[in-house]
């Protein structure tokens, strides 16, 4: 029989029978890669099928299903617990993605050091046992209940899991694991998918929790975690500027909790330190008496977080205006620039504009609009926004300031960090209570906001 090949999109994981220049699912160009189809009818998958048939799994009415809550355990790191939705779920599989060197192995090894009672199996395919021991020494992880296995063959890993019966398994990383039954090499799409599927079946059957590391690779040469996202229970991305010490752990998918929560860590000499109050960290080193910066408050899940938006407006050269946005969606930033130009009375033509959010934070909430507009206006006019002033509000296309949710919570955080003034949407002024020492400036549109903050 002729061997079939399949094509996968390295951006979204879409599978197709033929090659496309543009992925039909996500619209990205040049992301389809060829991978050999699965040529072998795997014995492992077959075994599971047989076991299922013997039990005769019949459908049941929903009213008769058990309502057993999922069993969770605390990881001992409150920031990680928060992102997982209140602890790790027994029998679940969690993918931890991130660029190489961001700190995934460090995070998971530290997690092993936190758990006193669980039996843990750490499978390392990237580092030797000696390297791992050195790192563990540096992190102060030294436990009898932590077993280490340097192995890349999936069958051996599964056999070790069966033999040692751990409660937590860590696979570092999925790109180094391979199943000898498949023809493709480690790190290819079919290998990564197959290994994850096998681990998932084992995790459900033997009810252990599994953390799987996956490298994010922009070039798409190695299958990234994207192709696994739909298979696993929870996807965490570890992000941050490698040059800076702050790291943000974000849930991109979570079957057992919300995906809005973030966990903040700082990389220090002896590992990752949790940052329980990220606002202080994100505002540290803020310049005084400088135009082009404004602080806002966004909700990251249930937690209000203060963020600094910076803008630089400079005369452009002969080649037309350059625009760049970092931390705020580019199209949103362009929309805000257009609104400022047309409704705010500040001409942005023939100006280069650069927008940046400090600390590597991604602001995807419209509540940051007003601060962005004010930061741009401040830089364009060369007027300083007072150091103790913040702005919260969504900007509409007519320049109106629209309401945001959870304003009381945001204002408490603003007041807690010592700010004295906050610009808020006028029409919800009646619904909020100003915390002590915080003056609320209600504005109806961006002209009023610019007038209130930049003209006095």
Residues that bind ligand TYD (CB under 6 A): 98, 100-106, 135, 138-139, 267, 269-271
The CB-of-126 to Mg ion minimum distance in angstroms stands at: 5
Instruction: Report CA-CA distances (Å) from 246 to 78, 239, 240.
Output: 16, 9, 6
The CB-of-172 to Mg ion minimum distance in angstroms stands at: 6
- According to DSSP, residue 267 is labeled E
Question: ω into residue 53 within 30 of 0, thus cis?
Answer: no
Alpha-helix runs per DSSP H in 361-405: 369-381
Residue number, 82 or 104, with CB nearest to ligand TYD:
104
Residue 136 binds which of ligand TYD, Mg ion, none (CB < 5-8 A, kind-dependent): none
Strand-pairing partners, residue 263, are 249
The CB-of-152 to Mg ion minimum distance in angstroms stands at: 14
What phi and psi values does residue 375 have, to the nearest 5 degrees?
-65, -40
What phi and psi values does residue 67 have, to the nearest 5 degrees?
-105, 35
Residue 421 binds which of ligand TYD, Mg ion, none (CB < 5-8 A, kind-dependent): none
Question: Which tokens sit at 343?
Answer: 């409704």
Residue number, 104 or 410, with CB nearest to ligand TYD:
104
Residue 209 binds which of Mg ion, ligand TYD, none (CB < 5-8 A, kind-dependent): none
Cβ atoms of 45 and 37 closer than 8 Å: no
- According to DSSP, residue 185 is labeled P
Q: Rule CB under 5 A: which residues touch Mg ion?
A: 105
Residue with tokens 């602890």: 87
Cβ atoms of 260 and 301 closer than 8 Å: yes
Residue 98 binds which of Mg ion, ligand TYD, none (CB < 5-8 A, kind-dependent): ligand TYD
Residue 103 binds which of Mg ion, ligand TYD, none (CB < 5-8 A, kind-dependent): ligand TYD
The CB-of-95 to Mg ion minimum distance in angstroms stands at: 14
Angle of helix 129-139 versus helix 104-114 axis, rounded to 10: 70
Residue number, 269 or 456, with CB nearest to ligand TYD:
269
Residue number, 107 or 200, with CB nearest to ligand TYD:
107
Question: Which tokens sit at 64?
Answer: 């008769």
Residue number, 105 or 378, with CB nearest to Mg ion:
105
The CB-of-215 to Mg ion minimum distance in angstroms stands at: 8
Query: Computed over its alpha carbons, how large is the radius of gyration of the chain?
Result: 26
The CB-of-104 to Mg ion minimum distance in angstroms stands at: 5
- CA-CA distance, 390 to 5, in Å (whole number)? 56
Residue 106 binds which of Mg ion, ligand TYD, none (CB < 5-8 A, kind-dependent): ligand TYD
The CB-of-325 to ligand TYD minimum distance in angstroms stands at: 27
Short-list 136, 99, 105, CA closest to 211: 105
The CB-of-115 to ligand TYD minimum distance in angstroms stands at: 18
Residue number, 45 or 267, with CB nearest to ligand TYD:
267
Residue 269 binds which of ligand TYD, Mg ion, none (CB < 5-8 A, kind-dependent): ligand TYD
Residue number, 99 or 114, with CB nearest to Mg ion:
99
Residue number, 239 or 365, with CB nearest to ligand TYD:
239
Give SS3 for 141. Answer: coil
Short-list 425, 375, 358, 420, CA closest to 396: 425
Residue 191 binds which of Mg ion, ligand TYD, none (CB < 5-8 A, kind-dependent): none
Question: Which tokens sit at 275?
Answer: 């940052």
């Amino acid at each position: 029989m002729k061997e079939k090949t399949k094509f996968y999109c390295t951006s979204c994981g879409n599978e197709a029978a033929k090659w496309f220049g543009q992925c039909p699912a996500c619209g990205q160009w040049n992301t389809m890669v060829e991978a050999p189809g699965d040529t072998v009818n795997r014995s492992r998958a077959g075994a599971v099928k047989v076991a299922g048939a013997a039990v005769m799994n019949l459908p049941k009415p929903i009213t008769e299903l058990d309502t057993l809550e999922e069993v969770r355990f605390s990881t001992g790191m409150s920031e990680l617990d928060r992102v997982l939705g209140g602890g790790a779920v027994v029998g679940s599989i969690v993918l931890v993605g991130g660029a190489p060197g961001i700190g995934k192995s460090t995070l998971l090894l530290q997690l092993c050091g936190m758990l006193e009672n669980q039996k843990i199996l750490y499978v390392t395919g990237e580092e030797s046992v000696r390297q791992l021991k050195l790192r563990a020494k540096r992190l102060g992880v030294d436990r009898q209940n932590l077993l280490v296995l340097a192995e890349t063959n999936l069958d051996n890993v599964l056999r070790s899991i069966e033999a040692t019966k751990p409660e937590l398994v860590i696979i570092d990383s999925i790109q180094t694991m391979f199943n000898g039954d498949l023809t493709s090499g480690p790190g290819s799409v079919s290998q990564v998918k197959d290994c994850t599927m096998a681990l998932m079946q084992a995790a459900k059957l033997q009810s252990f929790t599994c953390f799987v590391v996956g490298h994010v690779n922009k070039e798409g040469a190695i299958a990234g975690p994207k192709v696994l996202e739909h298979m696993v229970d929870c996807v965490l991305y570890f992000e941050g500027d490698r040059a800076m010490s702050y790291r943000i752990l974000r849930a991109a998918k979570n079957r057992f909790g919300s995906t809005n929560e973030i966990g903040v860590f700082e990389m220090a000499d002896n590992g990752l330190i949790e940052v329980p109050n990220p606002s202080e960290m994100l505002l540290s080193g803020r310049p005084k008496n400088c135009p082009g910066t404004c602080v806002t408050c966004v909700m990251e899940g249930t937690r209000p977080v203060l963020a600094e938006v910076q803008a630089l407006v400079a005369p452009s050269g002969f080649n037309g205006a350059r625009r760049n946005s970092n931390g705020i969606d580019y199209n949103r930033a362009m929309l805000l620039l257009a609104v400022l130009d047309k409704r705010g009375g500040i001409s942005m033509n023939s100006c280069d504009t650069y927008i940046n959010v400090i600390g590597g934070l991604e602001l995807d909430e419209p509540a940051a609009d007003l601060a962005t507009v004010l930061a741009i206006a401040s830089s364009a006019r060369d007027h300083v926004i007072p150091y103790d002033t913040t702005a919260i509000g969504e900007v509409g296309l007519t320049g109106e300031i629209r309401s945001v949710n959870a304003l009381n919570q945001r204002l408490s955080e603003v007041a807690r960090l010592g700010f004295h003034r906050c610009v808020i949407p006028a029409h919800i002024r009646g619904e909020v209570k100003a915390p002590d020492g915080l003056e609320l400036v209600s504005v109806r549109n961006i002209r009023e906001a610019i007038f209130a903050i930049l003209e006095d």
